[in-house]
């Protein structure tokens, strides 16, 4: 009989889902106490699809004053947070609105932390737990990071170390998330594929954990969500206007990172994000694309070198997510077949499986590995702890 770990789970963010729901943005801001807003967004995509005009119209009609911070980049930068925080402080902002991709939302979270903590936010990316942040609402236009309902944020420290820093603090969840799948119709095939890989990775990280016993319900949540992404990721690429596919991916992105798929578990988990951060953080590659290349290689290393229990988990992943027929006498064969199907799915998304495809030269591998080991103090934590030899093997296996 399993012994269940104690846990706390908070369904915090109000989800407002469906067509045209962005029209409710002003009402929701008022509902959560907002009176002066900073609108945080990226490049021109929200203007090209008309979302910017609809949001501005809603704010103006409601008489809600706002200032703007545009120009958020993928792999968002700390320097832009500094600029936005100064604008927000000078404008006496009391509400953040992140519109666009996960990078816009992550940037808004950093500014919200600064507003609530006398200008301090960076320490929360370096291990200090956050206890409060200014209220934040979101309208996301790509299904990927899940930042719209999670307590996480990622920034590249372009002011000092150059490293990608992140956190996961419960008080840093948005108060509302507006989700209109139609807003994702214009997302390119490449970004849709990268987003699907990113969504899957968030649940892969929770599925492969070391610590508490397995929760059957947690496994069912996780496996069902991963099967959903496997089914609808290629469908959204094949038909960008497929509302069903876009809706399923949007929901999977949010529920994949709000801790539903990790319910009832504690302990070290994943490991793929620690490896990937050395790629997107330094080469400015798409985070999901880096994860696409690394996840199968990381799991292959576990199947080849892990304990019998770890091998069995990889085999279960193949059976439950990719429909492999279980071979009870040969878990390794089952695991390997599942990973072959995993790689084929990655290819069906148009995603890379090698560092070369990501534009990272083989001669850079020693520096990539060194950064990875330095930032993790010589041992990458996770489902299977990875020393220098293991990390070198994983990266080398996908160099070409």
pLDDT at site 211? 77
**pTM confidence score:** 0.94
Q: Quick one: 306 exposed, middle or buried, by C-beta within 10 A (0-12, 13-18, 19+)?
A: middle
Cα–Cα–Cα angle for 33, 39, 40, rounded to 5 degrees: 125
pLDDT band at 214 (very low <50, low <70, confident <90, very high): confident
pLDDT at site 329? 86
Give the pLDDT mean for 293-315: 97
pLDDT at site 265? 79
Cα–Cα–Cα angle for 44, 180, 205, rounded to 5 degrees: 90
CATH 3.40.50.1970 is the classification of domain 14-184: yes
Half-sphere exposure of 51 (CA within 13 A, CB side): 33
Superfamily of domain 189-397: Dehydroquinate synthase-like - alpha domain (1.20.1090.10)
Give the pLDDT mean for 256-260: 91
Is 121 in a helix, a strand, or coil?
coil
Paired tokens of 75: 């792999």
Cα–Cα–Cα angle for 358, 360, 362, rounded to 5 degrees: 130
pLDDT at site 397? 97
> What tens digit of pLDDT does each residue of 24-73 get?
999 999 999 999 999 999 988 999 999 999 999 999 999 999 999 999 99
> What tens digit of pLDDT does each residue of 140-172 get?
999 999 999 999 999 999 999 888 999 999 999
The DSSP-derived string for 28-91 is HHHHTT-SSEEEE--SSHHHHTTHHHHHHHHHHHTT--EEEE--PPSS-BHHHHHHHHHHHHHT
pLDDT at site 3? 66
Is 287 in a helix, a strand, or coil?
helix
Percentage of the chain surpassing pLDDT 90? 88
Closest CA to 187 of 292, 43, 357: 43
pLDDT at site 2? 61
Cα–Cα–Cα angle for 285, 289, 294, rounded to 5 degrees: 110
Give the pLDDT mean for 259-275: 87
Q: Where are the domains of the chain?
A: 14-184, 189-397
> What tens digit of pLDDT does each residue of 173-199 get?
999 999 999 999 999 999 999 999 999
pLDDT band at 281 (very low <50, low <70, confident <90, very high): confident
pLDDT at site 235? 98
Closest CA to 70 of 89, 83, 57: 83
pLDDT surpassing 60 at residue 1: no
């Amino acid at each position: 009989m399993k012994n269940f770990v104690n846990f706390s789970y908070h369904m915090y963010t109000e989800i407002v889902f469906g067509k045209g729901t962005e029209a409710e943005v002003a009402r929701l801001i008022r509902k959560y106490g907002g009176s002066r807003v900073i609108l945080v967004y990226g490049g021109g995509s929200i203007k090209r699809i008309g979302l910017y005009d609809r949001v501005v119209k809603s704010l103006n009609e409601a008489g809600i004053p706002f200032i703007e911070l545009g120009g958020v980049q993928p792999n968002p930068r700390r320097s832009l947070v500094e600029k936005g925080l100064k604008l927000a402080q000078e404008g006496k902002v009391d509400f953040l609105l992140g519109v666009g991709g996960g990078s816009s939302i992550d940037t808004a979270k950093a500014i919200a932390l600064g507003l609530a903590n006398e200008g301090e936010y960076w320490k929360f990316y370096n291990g200090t737990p956050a206890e409060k942040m200014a209220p934040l609402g979101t309208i996301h236009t790509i299904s990927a990071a899940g930042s719209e309902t999670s307590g996480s944020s990622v920034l590249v420290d372009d002011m000092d170390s150059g490293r990608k820093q992140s956190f996961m603090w419960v008080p840093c969840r948005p108060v509302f998330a507006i989700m209109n799948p139609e807003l994702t119709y214009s997302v390119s095939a490449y970004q849709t594929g990268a987003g699907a890989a990113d969504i899957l990775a968030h649940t892969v990280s929770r599925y492969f954990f070391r610590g508490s016993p397995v929760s059957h319900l947690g496994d069912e949540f996780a496996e069902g969500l991963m099967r959903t992404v496997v089914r609808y990721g290629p469908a959204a690429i094949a038909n960008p206007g497929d509302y069903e596919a876009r809706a399923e991916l949007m929901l999977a992105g949010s529920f994949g990172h709000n801790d539903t798929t990790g319910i009832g578990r504690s302990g070290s988990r994943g490991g793929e994000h620690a490896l990937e951060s050395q790629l997107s953080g330094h080469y400015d590659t798409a985070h999901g694309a880096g994860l696409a290349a690394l996840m199968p290689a990381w799991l292959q290393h576990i199947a080849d070198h892990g304990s019998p229990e770890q091998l069995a988990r990889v085999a279960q992943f193949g059976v439950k997510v990719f429909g492999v027929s279980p071979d009870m006498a040969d878990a390794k064969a089952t695991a390997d077949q599942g990973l072959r199907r995993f790689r084929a799915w990655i290819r069906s998304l148009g995603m890379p499986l090698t560092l070369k495809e990501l534009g990272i030269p083989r001669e850079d591998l020693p520096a990539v590995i060194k950064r990875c080991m330095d930032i993790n103090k010589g041992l990458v934590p996770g489902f299977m702890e990875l020393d220098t030899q293991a990390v070198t093997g994983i990266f080398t296996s996908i160099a070409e």
